[in-house]
Amino acid sequence: MKKATLLFISFFIIGISGAIAQGCDEPSGDEGDDDGVKIFGFFQPQYEYHLTDPATNTFKFKRARIGFTGNIPYDFNYYFVLENSAFVSQTGNPYLLDAFISYRRFSWLSASIGSFKMPFGLEVNTPCHGLYTVNRAMVSDQIVAPQRDMGLMLFGNLLEKKINYTLAIMNGRGLGIKDNNESKDFVGRLKISPIEMLTLGGSFRYGHPNTDDVDRMSYAGELQLKFGEFLLQGEYIYDEGDYNRAAGGGCGSDPLTLGDKRDGAWVQAMFMTALNLQPVIKWEFFDVDNNIDDNNLYSYTFGFNYFFNESTRLQANYQYNVEKGAETLNDAVYIQFQVRF
């Protein structure tokens, strides 16, 4: 709890610069294109091989998304995205992922209402087509759930985008589900870039996932360091209290049973070479229950990204998984091809 308290304090005294990542792409911001509609999307066919006993392998779509965005005179824009991958949907059918209307007259204070990403954490708010590894970290998928929800968001930037903030009030139940109690979830994120190469940040969430009687509190601290073509990112997340067992994990991952207190972290480093090849290494851990010893989950990812052009890339990852106190064979290989349009 002491670590979480320190991170919560750091949220107020410190803060990846850039726009608010409410969805997979950015809402239209071209003032000269008031009557235009931008169609965008991406799809990710993928092969994965799991070194279990017995081994399994499959071809699948990690994601297959299409949407549109545009401006409405004056100062409004809209954003709409569908997820079409049957491997992500619990029903196997396409479903509404993001849909919100924004008022963005002032850079220091804008607002959105609708369905969008929870403004919590660095990795969750990295667009899915911009992830440096095929999978997000365990702690991101398991603790930041649901990753999308209905609500109202206020956001903006100050001091020439050196400070970015987001505050949201959300149902806390997930996509397409009405709130089942009188309380709402409050979520916020702050990012500060004191110098161009460094970004620091923090996030918080407070809510009632199931009933008004039992609450949930989450904190996160994040760091990004960019020096030339070298990029280092890291994040720590702490979570305690109740959680929505029906929310599932991020992007179709299987939810785990969590204890009353849980935490985790990840660190990744990568370097873009002159050959458009970007080697990546990632370390992560996740403790599903802080009250039980020797049950941490560790994962090491080794791989690369190869960029054919600005819209097409290949990702290859070997994921070495370790369960403390166990010798279960559960490593995996992921090969993903992506096209954006």
Please state the domain count of the chain.
1
Half-sphere exposure at residue 102, Cβ-oriented, CA atoms within 13 angstroms: 29
- pLDDT tens track for 122-181: 999 999 999 999 999 999 999 998 999 999 999 999 999 999 999 999 999 888 888 989
Write the single-letter amino acid at 233.
Answer: Q
Domain containing residue 187: CATH number: 2.40.160.10
pLDDT of residue 177: 87
pTM equals: 0.88
pLDDT of residue 53: 87
| Three-state DSSP string of 255-312 | CCCCCCEEEEEEEEEEECCCCCEEEEEEEEEEECCCCCCCCCEEEEEEEEEEEEECCE
* Average pLDDT for 24-47: 76
The larger pLDDT score, comparing residue 33 to residue 27, is at 27
Q: What whole-number distance in Å separates Cα of residue 220 and Cα of residue 121?
A: 6
Q: Return mean pLDDT, the chain.
A: 88
pLDDT band for position 307 (50/70/90)? Answer: very high
Q: What whole-number distance in Å separates Cα of residue 189 and Cα of residue 95?
A: 27
* Average pLDDT for 303-315: 97
pLDDT at 10 over 60: no
pLDDT of residue 6: 37
pLDDT of residue 29: 55
- Domain that includes residue 57, residue range: 2-340
Please say whether the dihedral angle defined by the alpha carbons of residues 176, 65, 148 and 79, taken in this order, is positive or negative.
negative
Of 167-171, 230-234, 241-245, 253-257, the range with the lowest mean pLDDT is 253-257
Task: Please return the burial class of 105, using the count of CB atoms within 10 Å of its CB with bins 0-12, 13-18 and 19+.
Answer: exposed
Q: What whole-number distance in Å separates Cα of residue 42 and Cα of residue 222?
A: 27
Q: What whole-number distance in Å separates Cα of residue 115 and Cα of residue 28?
A: 17
DSSP character for 143?
A: H
pLDDT band for position 35 (50/70/90)? Answer: low
Q: Is residue 54 reached through a cis peptide bond, with omega within 30 degrees of 0 on the bond before it?
A: yes
Give the C-alpha distances (Å, rounded to integers) separating 92 from 12, 56, 123, 186, 212: 42, 21, 26, 31, 32
pLDDT of residue 186: 97
Write the single-letter amino acid at 23.
Answer: G
- pLDDT tens track for 80-119: 999 999 888 767 789 999 999 999 999 999 999 999 999 9
pLDDT band for position 329 (50/70/90)? Answer: low
pLDDT of residue 259: 93
Range among 6-15, 45-54, 176-185, 286-295 with highest mean pLDDT value? 45-54
pLDDT band for position 246 (50/70/90)? Answer: confident
Q: Is residue 146 reached through a cis peptide bond, with omega within 30 degrees of 0 on the bond before it?
A: yes
